[in-house]
Amino acid sequence: MSAALRWGLPVLVVAACVGYLIYSASGAAGEYYLTVSQLRAHGPAGDVRVAGVVQNDVEKSENGLHVTFTEKDGTASMPVEYTGTLPDIFQPGITVVAEGQLGGDGVFHARTLLAKCPSRFSTKPYTS
């Protein structure tokens, strides 16, 4: 076997396997990342992640685990429903990323809720 072949063959085999793994996994586990208006315009089937700002209508159940609120971006809004532990900084005005599905009832059923910190390392910038 020539030298080039003996170097190239294992590289090619590993590269092909890794390529296949990446291709199949990103096809099966990839989700669309949308804003509220993009979801309203063309909602793909299946799980999506939707970013938007929490509005001033947060309602929590008595035990604090079930919550409903409206998520809004520049032009569109949608009601969101979520059960689980809320992120610490969750409050009206912050940006959240809800992961889940838009139900037939027009309500977005979130499986996970991520709070997007405006910045990890500062609270808010001074305007001087």
Figure out which of the listed residues 57, 75, 89, 103 binds another protein, where binding follows CB under 8 A: 89
Sign, Cα dihedral of 56, 60, 64, 67: negative
Q: How far is the CB of 25 from another protein (least distance, A)?
A: 4
What single-letter DSSP state applies at residue 26?
Answer: H
| 7, 21, 125 from 121: Cα distances, Å | 47, 36, 11
Binding of another protein at residue 97 (CB under 8 A)?
yes
Q: How many residues bind another protein (CB under 8 A)?
A: 52
Burial label, 52 (beta-carbon count in 10 A; 0-12, 13-18, 19+): buried
User: What Å distances lie between residue 61 and 27, 40, 51, 124, CA to CA?
Assistant: 37, 27, 23, 30
Can you tell me which of 46, 56, 59, 62 binds another protein, judged by CB under 8 A?
Answer: 62
Part of the chain binding another protein (CB under 8 A), chosen from 25-33, 68-76, 102-110: 25-33
In the complex, the residues that contact another protein under the rule CB under 8 A are 3, 6-7, 10-11, 14-15, 17-18, 21-22, 24-26, 28-34, 38, 44, 49, 51, 60, 62-65, 84-86, 88-89, 91, 97, 99, 114-126, 128
